Structure 1
Amino acid sequence: MIKKISLTFLFFCHFLYSQTLEFAVIVKDFDTDQPIDEVTITAVKSGQSFLTNKEGNCIVNLSRPSDLEFLHGSYKRMVVKYTALNKKNNIVYLEPIVEQLEDYVVTREHPQEILRGLVANSRSRISLPINLKVYLREFYKQDDQIVFFNDGLINFQILGTIRNIKTDILVEQNRAIGFIEGNFYADILGYNLNNIIENYYQFKYLDEVLDAGARKKYEFYVKTFSANEDELVIKIVPLDDSKGILSSFSIRYDTKKRIILELSSSVSPERLQKYKENFFATRKVYKLEFKNTFREFDNLYYLVNSKEVIGFEKRIKKKEVRIEVKNHMVVTDLDKKLFEYSDKNIFKDKSLINKKSSFFTNYWDVASGFVATNEEKLIIDQLGKEYNEVEAESDIPSNK
């Protein structure tokens, strides 16, 4: 007879069994001794991933002993033996990439055609179905001050085909701390958790530069990637006379496997200032950044981490308010096998912003793969105190 185990119990067991090998890593620049943020750290044997914060810190929590791979677009790839990481706090130095003088690559195909082929091949190689265990966190700023924070451990059960991706979201634990004044959060999100994986896996953020008319707006060129001779980078930059809020793109790819490894885009401050137009109806954008990192491991090709930042001005109650949202997702583990669950466990909202806090461990320190900096921890603690004080006041019986 098959016994059914509750989803919560399965999550809890998974958490316990992932806590066997834990240590801290600080990643620094070899030349300057300064910390390096957003370094992707991957366990070579298991595929578990981690990400350094602005202090260069990361808590590595392995399910089994494994060498670690360190990757960052501005530094040379490094693999560190597990046996060398034998301290509670380990320092790893990465060597910066020295830009070459002659680094432009002459290609027979136009770079846009190369990119079209890369997107098509990458889509065909993406692993489906798959379960991605993700740590997600979001900081919300209002007038340059952080006013709200939420994070959580999420399972993305990704089903279907690349043409018709279906994602079921199961939230293990989450926190929502702080206050957002005004009802603006409904339209501040540049993403929807229910289709975010579809956007990433179909590389929809590249649609604007794959369009037939894009060559009239952008300059395309290919550059070498000196850290790895098997990789190249496609750079796409808006032409000076192109109007509007247009992003600059960088696409790093494997020349042999023909798959995209890293995709990033941003709009220059100069262009945003020059074209202060309504990018999203009633919103004037002042910051726009995006980044996806992909990896191939054990015949699986999948998202490793992502970042999205959007900052804009919005008129609320006859006042111009600056709003900024920063979202990070880190895929801490993955499994080709999907687990069973009921429909009632599926999270169907667009964001965790309205989900009430529910947690039974301090997952943000030991299971997130992306720990907060000391400054961020102080801000989160302060938001929590303010929230608890308001909640306590709201429970005081009225004398009226």
Structure 2
Amino acid sequence: MKKILFLILFFLSFNVFSQNNERTLILLDSDSNVPIEDAVVLVLKTKQVLMTNKEGTVVFELKGGSNVKVTHSSYLPLNIKWASLNQPENIIYLKSKLNRLDDIVITKQHPQEIVKELVDNSIKRLSVPARLKAYSREFFKLNGAYAYFNDGLINFQLYRDQKKVKSILLVEQNRSFGLIDDEISSDLLGYNLNVMMEKYYVFSALRPLLDVKSKKKYSFIVKVSPVNEEYNEILAIPVEGSDELLDDFKIVYDVKRKLIIEVNAEVSGISLAKVEEETKKGSKNLIRSVFKTNYRIDLNNYYLVSSKEEINYEINAGNEIKNIEVLNNLVTTNFNIQNFTYKESDVFKDKTLFNIKNSILTDYWNVSGLTPTAKELEIINKIINSF
């Protein structure tokens, strides 16, 4: 009976998207017409944050009008008047910063010292204690085929514990489904949500750049765009000849406030090519790793807006080689610095949403800020219809 009720709720939820107040934005590169992924779309009236998917699309509903602000580290920011969004589906073109002449900044400080200063200042300025309500979504692929899916509306209760930032996780709603019968170790299913949030608030991804030895491992460049001097970028690229598995880094920061706005880290293709493949049983060989976080400054508040983590690796299971891929997205739907109370029994203590029973009260995924692509929606529908 519960499955029947869930299916009815699921399909009815998509009819909501036909209402007159819905708007679809499709962001494209003005030169190439290529969809722009991971752009932050802020609805100024409600402070709702949305992230464009791989098709460059966001879908949202709003009673009444509101201007919209679009930002992306590779494109010029754009403010959109609500009156101009007069169609259910609106194509928006962004101008790239990459094909414009960037100035290289010459500083007395070594760029590594700038990174250290940015990390220290950003950790101090992040608004804690606070509560982040967020939508989390994760796809799990086995040998190239979609195998598991979960998403949920969750609350992170953030607090400081000495020099660390800790989080308490409260799950409001969630759903989790599998498509395969293969037995997969539970530690392969998904990212640990508490660990993720805690590392976002201490910028753990940037630790390789803070090591004293990093000056010999990386080439650092500080750049500023002549058309957007509010933000600078620091690029850190592994030097040639290194035999370690290292990431390419890009850090976008607010020049005046000395606060990190965006962190990008992707394992270097050159590094991957030089790492020897492990062949022992249980060994893992990395194929791809992507990490991205966005932060927002809103008056006196400074907090995480979104994150994306993707990892692809092969694991030697003895009798076969399994290809594992995990795709995780998180978008903040509400931020608040007020004190909150909760029952200890409400605290979610497992690692991932795969370890909790489904709890669906509303069509929370429709107001998540993260619109599935056509392929992702096909996979989700396939999962739901299999039950």
Deviations 1:298-317 (A, max 9, x none): 31100110001111111225
Query: CA contact under 8 A between 2:130 and 2:157: conserved in structure 1?
Result: yes
Residue 271 of structure 1 corresponds to: 271
For structure 2, the 5+ residue unaligned runs are 1-18
- Cα distance in 1 for residues equivalent to 2:57 and 2:135: 16
Q: Structure 1 counterpart of 2:54, which letter?
A: K
Residues 170-189 of structure 1: pairs in structure 2 closer than 5 A: 170-179=170-179, 181-187=182-188, 189=190
Cα gap change, 1:146 to 1:227, in 2 (>3 Å): farther
The answer (yes or no) to whether the contact 2:222–2:235 under 8 Å persists in 1 is: yes
Unaligned runs of 5+ in 1: 1-18, 389-400
**Partner of 1:195: helix, strand, or coil?**
helix
- Please list the CA deviations of residues 88-116 of structure 1 after superposition, one character each: whole Å capped at 9, or x if unmatched: 32322211224344632111100000111
CA–CA separation in structure 2 for the residues paired with 1:124 and 1:251: 18
Q: Deviations over 1:77-135 (max 9, x none)?
A: 00112333343323222112243446321111000001111111111110011111111
**Corresponding residue for residue 74 of structure 1:** 74
CA contact (8 A) 1:47 1:297 kept: no
2:335 maps to 334
Counterpart Cα distance in 1 of 2:251 and 2:172:
33
Q: Does 41-50 or 129-138 show the bigger shift? A: 41-50
Tell me the matched-pair count. Answer: 368
The amino acid of 1:331's aligned partner reads: T
Alignment of 1:251-330 (within 5 A): 251-277=251-277, 282-330=283-331
Aligned match of 1:239: 239
Describe the superposition over 1:19-66 as per-residue Cα deviations: whole angstroms up to 9, x where unpaired: 996422222222233322211111334432101111221112458753
Write the distance in 1 (CA, Å) between the matches of 2:260 and 2:64.
28
TM-score (norm 2): 0.88
3-state secondary structure, aligned to 1:361:
coil
Q: How does 1:1-400 map to 2 (within 5 A)?
A: 22-62=22-62, 65-101=65-101, 103-160=103-160, 163-179=163-179, 181-187=182-188, 189=190, 191-277=191-277, 282-364=283-365, 366-386=366-386, 388=387
Residue deviations 1:330-384, cap 9 Å, x none?
A: 11221122432211111111111222222122222x2110011111111122233
Distance in 1 of aligned mates of 2:153 and 2:20: 18
Deviates more, 1:348-357 or 1:282-291: 348-357
Q: Distance in 1 between matches of 2:174 and 2:298?
A: 28
Rounded Cα–Cα distance in structure 1 between residues aligned with 2:63 and 2:108: 46
**Contact 1:234/1:250 (CA < 8 Å) preserved in 2?**
yes
Instruction: Give the 3 Å change call, closer, same or farther, for CA 332–183 of structure 1 in structure 2.
Output: same
Q: Which whole-Å CA distance do the structure 2 matches of 1:371 and 1:144 have between them?
A: 22
Secondary structure at the counterpart of residue 194 of structure 1: helix
1: CA distance between counterparts of 2:277 and 2:155? 38
Cα distance in 2, alignment partners of residues 276 and 367 from structure 1: 45
Q: Which moved more, 1:137-146 or 1:331-340?
A: 331-340
- Give the drift of 1:258: 0.5
What is the aligned-residue RMSD (CA, Å)?
Answer: 2.4
CA separation in 2, counterparts of 1:55 and 1:124? 36
AA aligned to 1:292 is T
The answer on whether the counterparts of 1:20 and 1:63 sit within 8 Å (CA) in structure 2 is no
Paired-residue identity, %: 38
Give the 3 Å change call, closer, same or farther, for CA 238–170 of structure 1 in structure 2.
same
Deviations 1:167-210 (A, max 9, x none): 11111111111146233341464x42122221011111111110
Query: Which amino acid is 1:215 matched to?
Result: K
Residues in 2 aligned to 1:299 and 1:216: alpha-carbon distance in whole angstroms? 37
The residue type paired with residue 113 of structure 2 is E
